[in-house]
Amino acid sequence: METVDERIKRAAGLLRESSYAVALTGAGASTESGIPDFRSPDSGLWTRVNPEVFTIQGFKADPAQFYNLGLEFFQLIAAAQPNDTHIVLGELQRRGLVKAIITQNVDGLHQKGGASRVLEIHGTLSSASCVFCRTRVSIAEVVGAVASGILPPLCPECGEPVKPDVILFGEAMPPAYQEALAEARQADCIMVIGSSMQVSPANMIPHFSENLVIINREPTFYDSQARVVIHDSTARVMRRILDELDRPG
């Protein structure tokens, strides 16, 4: 049976040999920054919060409940710092080895980690927009309002509720998703990092490459189709891939 070291070497080799590699990251890329994922049976967000609250229908029906239950998550994201997954991907992008980072995450940690081309296919939690007039405000303003008891936070222009600029269940995908599909079609290697690949339509992206590298703690639907599969900490594996790329000869 192939060792983890051997798999890391093969992953680094595929990355080195590719002419257009892209990365697709999910919640598992940020768990080591203190942000819980959604589906882990012991610690996932859905074990503590009803997912229906975080649908567009749930938001429209009761935006105050949405913010009351989401405040802790928003504060965690605001305080989070990038881990080695984000930092290494930023470095690989600077070296030209990863052309684009497609992320299902809304935490902005790839940008904090030094990445420049990041396609946020589920939106961003860095800002919020009025549901009526589309006036945009910073997430810091929103969190401050909620923490002071204003539920829901309201638009400073028209007084209607503001919604974080994330894609809730039931909403259409943003333009970044079409850009991500274009990147995936062009890619000759796709690295899936920290994603269970259970969420549609993001889970269609790996379909476009025969050279798949899967790095995730748990098995994914694409494991049987991947060239390299590593079930381990994404931060540890990414750091070791970078070390392998830096190895002489």
List residues with catalytic annotation. Answer: 122
Q: Beta strands 136-138 and 162-166: pairing type?
A: unpaired
Contact 153, 68 (CB under 8 A): no
What is the Cα–Cα distance from 5 to 60, expressed in whole angstroms?
49
What is the Cα–Cα distance from 12 to 18, expressed in whole angstroms?
10
What is the Cα–Cα distance from 126 to 152, expressed in whole angstroms?
17
Q: What are 101's strand-pairing partners? A: 23, 118
Listed residue (104, 80, 103, 107) closest to 93, CA to CA: 103
